[in-house]
Amino acid sequence: MGDFHQNGYVATLHNLGTRTLETMEAELKIFSGYRPMELILPSLFSELEGPALKNIVNEISKVDYLSHVIIGLDQANREQYEYAYSFFKKLNKPFSLLWNDGPRLQSIHAELQEKGLMTAEPGKGRNVWHCIGLSHARAKADAVAIHDCDILTYNREMLARLFYPIANPNYQFEFCKGYYSRVADNKINGRVCRLLVTPLLMAMEQVLGPSDYLNFMKSFRYALAGEFSFRRNLIPELRIPSDWGLEVGILSEMQRNQASNRICQVDIADHYDHKHQDLSEMDLRGGLSRMSIDITKVLIRKLATQGYCFGPETFRTIKASYYRMALDIVHYYQADAVLNGLEFDIDKEERAVELFAENIMRAGDDFSYSPMKTPFIPSWTRVISAIPDLGYRLRKAVEDDNQELQ
């Protein structure tokens, strides 16, 4: 049973356990006549071989309110692309498969690089950027949702609850963030959100002072959730981070561009589990270590755009404040875990806090020494201004790739 808590910044839509999936899907079917719905799935080829995506495709195949699915496929050769096309036929509904490593999309990417419009390395951010560009070019959906392809606990109620606030024509919301409990295997997961983002936002507020942006970010119950939905009209101006700061970066864009009464968060699952990243204490270029650095840089850059000044003393103070708050929060989670009969390894938790504290300083160094680095992929408005027919050519490239396998 959910609670009734509202934070005062963005609407929180709870799961009170009083609604059946069947009645919600029946309403969504009606809403689809007003606001056609399209789902985006950013995927690595390796996820087709994992345990999660087969179930995700099976669950989506039972949904009758979706008009179209866009899949962004990364790290796939020709044979793997052909296999993926056959794999996604099981969706039992129209779909477009972006072969990001194929010659047609690579040609478009090379053109963007030549014009200085794409410097992002391959990854989820670039994949999502291509997918929303295709959705914008197709111009057939009004409500768009995105979720990850490694969700082990997926069921179609997650999709229904994610779409509902955006698809319902009686609601004013234009952006919706999913949230859920990160409890699985008898323990509390979600270390980066629990042990980095939450105490870091508190520390930044303590050091820098009150901030509407920090209050906005603190209002989300799971800021790093990869599940969100939005109205398609938001796509042209959306700037997407190219690194692991994707989710925090998109929330930052919403705070900048949208009124808070147009934004909500919705409880989409009682439990959620997905592929876990290693802490990567010895490798700053991978796992949760790199993720923590990228997320911290997004927060720093956003605050810098609002006039906050950062220097070595500021970063050291934020780190010290963060470290104290994070250690306190570890004990809060320990008490919570014990009360609920869950396992809790306080040594591992505090080791994560120590690494994240060091990475706050590393993120500050990166920010200070790379002031000219562009943190976002250019918006589609800018790209279309520079290359007016690119949307059409992207759509045509994907259609041509797909038609070869039909």
**Model pLDDT, residue 406:** 80
**Model pLDDT, residue 96:** 98
Does pLDDT of 373 surpass 60?
Answer: yes
Does pLDDT of 280 surpass 80?
Answer: no
**Model pLDDT, residue 4:** 86
* Mean pLDDT, all residues of the chain: 93
Does pLDDT of 242 surpass 80?
Answer: no
* Locus of tokens 């794409």: 118
Between CA 174 and CA 231 the distance in angstroms is 5
Between CA 136 and CA 306 the distance in angstroms is 30
Report H helices in 115-226: 124-138, 156-167, 191, 198-208, 212-218
Cα–Cα distance list, 201 to 175, 317, 361, 363, 380 (Å): 22, 13, 15, 15, 30
**Model pLDDT, residue 185:** 87
341: left (phi over 0), alpha (psi -120 to 50) or beta: left
**Model pLDDT, residue 33:** 95
Q: What is the mean pLDDT of residues 66-76?
A: 97
The pLDDT tens digits for 183-228 are 888 999 999 999 999 999 999 999 999 999 999 999 999 999 999 9
* Strands annotated E in 303-354: none
pLDDT band at 179 (very low <50, low <70, confident <90, very high): very high
CATH superfamily membership of 11-403: Spore Coat Polysaccharide Biosynthesis Protein SpsA; Chain A (3.90.550.10)
Tell me the sheet residues that pair with 188. 183
Bridge-based pairing state of the strands 263-269 and 187-188: unpaired
Query: In this structure, what token pair is assigned to residue 238?
Result: 């959306």
Does pLDDT of 70 surpass 90?
Answer: yes
Q: How far is CA 184 from the centre of its chain?
A: 20
